[in-house]
Amino acid sequence: MTNALSDLLATRDWLLTDGATGTTLFNMGLQSGDAPELWNVDHPDRIAALYQGAVDAGSDIFLTNTFGGTSARMKLHDAQTRVFELNKLGAEIGREVADKAGRKVVVAGSVGPTGEIMAPMGPLTFERAVEMFHEQAEGLKAGGVDVLWVETISAPEEYKAAAEAARLADMAWCGTMSFDTAGRTMMGLTSAAMAAMVETIPNPPISFGANCGVGASDLLRTVLGFAGTGTERPIIAKGNAGIPKYVDGHIHYDGTPALMADYALLARASGATIIGGCCGTTPEHLRAMREALETREVPARPTLDKIAEKIGGFSSAVDGTGEGGPVSSKRANRRRRD
């Protein structure tokens, strides 16, 4: 399938994607509990500014403001009948920003988890999950996204449901999962298991990887796990900008632009091809990451000790894979002092 992302990957060794949608929108006035997707209608200028900030910072890819765009998530805001409309608008604003960038910029349609638990543990059937993701995908496709970008998934079956929805919509896609429980997703998947899983999907993603999770160090350990399987599929690394802290009534991430620049180089050295930030990552962070990737030498594949030394320790002693996987040494819990 010909698509803008594959074309760009064919000409570049690495690509920079965007940062945090939520962090940026909260800085623009979004209130806790509000649906960001409704801003595609109510404040399209702010959504355009969100996208433009990533482009101006050097991102080659940015995600649309549609993370919670399934009917399951929109039902929480009595907007479950507006799925197609809200996703289409989020994509159209992005398409306009990308088309005037003066360079190739990929518009990726963000598809987040439904928020429901998959059967048999919960009520969400595979068929219903496919239906919801497909409805969202068609809206994003109509709005002009280049690819679908499935993110922050925990359950293998939900990931596969999103893949099937992409197939039904005839759209190329990428997909990341969140590894936040001692090196595993909330539903127990390891990095090695995910790398194996994507190769079993009839229409595999262009690229796969990890986003969000606990912190940038943990995410890099997961990336090392992906790379250690020998996968030839481009790996995505989209880590948080440090660790969240509650400051003056707001969540603040402590990762500086300098730390995220180091993270970007370590992500590249660990095996990632598509590199960006998640929660807490602002255009200022992205600019530092772009400059580092363009001007600094990529180091050798890092040890866990080197990751801990450069950007901080890990939240758990192991990466979830058991014997043979990366394991933190006693130094891995040491936080960076500068």
How big is the chain by its Cα radius of gyration, in Å?
18
- Transcribe 46-109 into DSSP letters: HHHHHHHHHHHTT-SEEE-S-TT-SHHHHGGGT-GGGHHHHHHHHHHHHHHHHHTSSS--EEEE
Q: Could you tell me the CATH number of the domain that includes residue 147?
A: 3.20.20.330
Distance of CA 157 to the CA centre of its chain: 18
Q: Is residue 332 domain-resident?
A: no
Q: Is residue 312 domain-resident?
A: no
302 Cβ neighbours under 8 A, 6+ residues apart: 220, 224, 266, 269, 270, 310
Q: Count helices and strands (H / E) in the chain.
A: 13, 12
Its domain, for residue 64, covers 4-301
193-235: pLDDT as tens digits:
999 999 999 999 999 999 999 889 999 999 999 999 999 999 9
Q: What average pLDDT does the structure give for the chain? A: 92
Strand order in the sheet with 147-153: 15-16, 274-277, 235-239, 208-212, 173-177, 147-153, 106-111, 61-63
Q: Is residue 314 domain-resident?
A: no
Q: Is residue 315 domain-resident?
A: no
Distance of CA 228 to the CA centre of its chain: 20
- Give the number of domains in the chain: 1
**pLDDT, position 250:** 65
23-52: pLDDT as tens digits:
999 999 999 899 999 999 999 999 999 999
**Tokens for 175?**
């997909």
Q: Which of 101-105, 123-127, 220-224, 329-333 has the lowest mean pLDDT?
A: 329-333
Mean pLDDT over residues 152-176, rounded?
A: 98
**pLDDT, position 120:** 93
> Is the pLDDT score of 105 beyond 70?
yes
> Is the pLDDT score of 324 beyond 60?
no
> Is the pLDDT score of 330 beyond 60?
no
276-297: pLDDT as tens digits:
999 999 999 999 999 999 999 9
Instruction: Record the pTM.
Output: 0.93
Q: Judging by beta carbons within 10 Å of its beta carbon (0-12, 13-18, 19+), is residue 33 exposed, middle or buried? A: exposed
What are the φ and ψ backbone dihedral angles of 299, each rounded to 5 degrees? -75, 175
> Is the pLDDT score of 322 beyond 80?
no
- Transcribe 282-328 into DSSP letters: -HHHHHHHHHHHHHS---SPPPHHHHHHHH---SSSB-SS-TTS-B-
Helix (H, G, I), strand (E, B) or coil at 157: helix
Q: Is residue 307 domain-resident?
A: no
> Is the pLDDT score of 325 beyond 60?
no
Q: Is residue 211 domain-resident?
A: yes
> Is the pLDDT score of 255 beyond 60?
yes
Mean pLDDT over residues 129-157, rounded?
A: 98
Q: Is residue 29 domain-resident?
A: yes
> Is the pLDDT score of 75 beyond 70?
yes
**pLDDT, position 319:** 78
**pLDDT, position 188:** 93
Is the bond leading into 123 cis (omega within 30 degrees of zero)? no
Q: Is residue 308 domain-resident?
A: no
